[in-house]
Amino acid sequence: MTEKKNICITINSLSRGGAEKQCLLLAKALKPYHNVTVAILKPEPSYEPYRQFIQKEEINHIVLSPNVLAKTVDFIKFLKNEKIDIIFSFLPTDTMFSGLCGKLAGVPHSFGGIRNSYMPKLKFMALRAVNNYLLDYTIANNFAAYRSSQDFGFKKNVFVISNGIDIKPFQERGVLSNEPVNIISMGRLVEQKKYDVALKCIHELKAKLGDEYKLHYKIVGQGPEEDNIVADIQRYGLVNEVELVTNPSNIYQLLEESDIYLCTSSFEGVSNSVMEAMNCALPIVATDAGDNSRLVIHRKNGFITEIGDTNTLAEHLANLVKLPNKRIEMGMESYNHLVENFSYEAFQNQYLKLIKNIEIFKIDEGNICL
């Protein structure tokens, strides 16, 4: 039996985001086997469903002071007093902070995180310095980020553990007649998600379908691009076809009411939103960003296109709109692919094996070798 380790998992805040979700999922996964504490670097923002998750799962956590000096002193004291063996960090800011504090506190094993294949050059340079001089390893959640780290001069101590997700019970989908086909996209309303591309694609799809088919497109998220998205909806004449939902009460309900998932991102890690759509047995039409091509097997559970190619995106959507049985077949393939490769259990097992073999594991082309 593996000796219990004292583990600290750091995250910037409990803001609504994929990294925050994975941080809490990792705490849940390790908690039955090790002593786990989540260290939250900033008290705000704080997304209520994540607070509820912490309470429900009884996850031990600390919230550090917003004052930088107090935060640093308190965290180093915590690491020493709790005799922390391992730190896992997820985002650039908490990776840099915990890498430095972990080194000063003498933590035996510090793991940073990299979750995007693209980020500002100065941030990449800072992460490279932390990886090469303060951390023991960096965990990427996707192979695109791994390759970028190697191209940018990270030492050969970077490897990939993909995101995990709690699998929902499978619900068989039926075809609703005389209903609009519902297309959905989810994620922060930021430039990288390319909602301008998505709306141009829906505009072209509407032209391809003519009056024979009705469609409804739902964008779900919050962020700084909201005004631009509203302007594009009006510019493309899609007021009757497009709905913007900025404060959803139940994400999975929205997905279950949909028929097709659309992702038009220019860069990604492993998309939590795409995985959530697969969890609801949706076919996926996505751009070849990040590790989308590992989630979406072209022509099996959806379609992969070049980034920004609105015409091909619209063609694939039109294909699925016209073939309801194909939507159901591809959606089932999405669900099966998720269960086999990206489940919570697979995510949990990879981390548990890593911890068990922490002194002896090797890395080969971004993969852990035990």
User: How high does pLDDT run on average in the chain?
Assistant: 94
pLDDT at 177 over 90: no
Whether residue 321 is found in the same domain as residue 347: no
Which of 34, 37, 40 minimizes the C-alpha distance to 15? 40
Q: How far apart (Å, rounded) are the C-alpha atoms in residues 243 and 233?
A: 9
307 and 356 assigned to the same domain:
no
Do 29 and 91 lie in one domain? The reply is yes
Radius of gyration (Cα) for the chain, nearest Å? 21
The domain tally of the chain equals 2
pLDDT value at 247 more than 70: yes
Say yes or no to pLDDT of 153 above 70.
yes
Say yes or no: 11 and 150 in one domain: yes
Average pLDDT over residues 291-295: 94
Tell me the per-residue pLDDT of 59-102, one tens digit each, with 9 for 90 and over.
999 999 999 999 999 999 999 999 999 999 999 999 999 999 99
Residues 207 and 110 in one domain: no
User: 59 and 152: one domain?
Assistant: yes
Residue 170 lies in a domain: no
Is pLDDT at 313 greater than 70 in this prediction? yes
> Would 1 be classed as within a structural domain?
no
Residue 113 confidence (pLDDT): 95
Residue 35 has pLDDT above 80, yes or no: yes
Q: What's the CATH code of the domain at 226?
A: 3.40.50.2000
Digit-coded pLDDT (tens) for 206-244 = 999 998 899 999 999 999 999 999 999 999 999 999 999
Does 174 fall in a domain?
no
**Which residue would you say has higher pLDDT here, 297 or 118?**
297
pLDDT at 176 over 70: no
Same domain, 327 and 198: yes
Residue 171 falls within a domain, yes or no? no
Mean pLDDT of 244-267: 94
Structural domain that includes position 268:
181-341
311 shares a domain with 262: yes
Provide the pLDDT for residue 232.
Answer: 98
Does one domain contain both 361 and 308? no
pLDDT value at position 31?
97
Inside any domain, residue 172? no
Domain for residue 263, yes or no?
yes
Q: Give 245-289 as a DSSP string.
A: ESS-S-HHHHHHT-SEEEE--SS-SS-HHHHHHHHTT--EEEES-
Same domain, 218 and 280: yes
Mean pLDDT across 345-368: 95
Give the pLDDT band of residue 119 (cuts 50, 70, 90).
confident
pLDDT, average across residues 270-274? 91
**In the prediction, which pLDDT does 366 show?**
92
The answer to whether position 173 is within a domain reads no
- % the chain with pLDDT above 90: 86
Task: Give a yes or no: residue 72 inside a domain.
Answer: yes
More confident residue, 62 or 15: 62
- Residue 270: what pLDDT? 86
Work out the burial of residue 331: count CB atoms within 10 Å of its CB; fewer than 13 is exposed, 13-18 middle, 19 or more buried.
buried
> 16 with 143, same domain?
yes
DSSP states along 80-113: HHTT--EEEE-SHHHHHHHHHHHHHHT-SEEEEE
Least confident of 120-129, 173-182, 186-195, 356-365: 173-182
Q: Residues 136, 89: contact at Cβ < 8 Å?
A: no
Same domain, 354 and 219: no
pLDDT, position 193: 96
Percentage of the residues of the chain whose pLDDT score is greater than 70: 98
Residue 156: per-residue pLDDT: 86
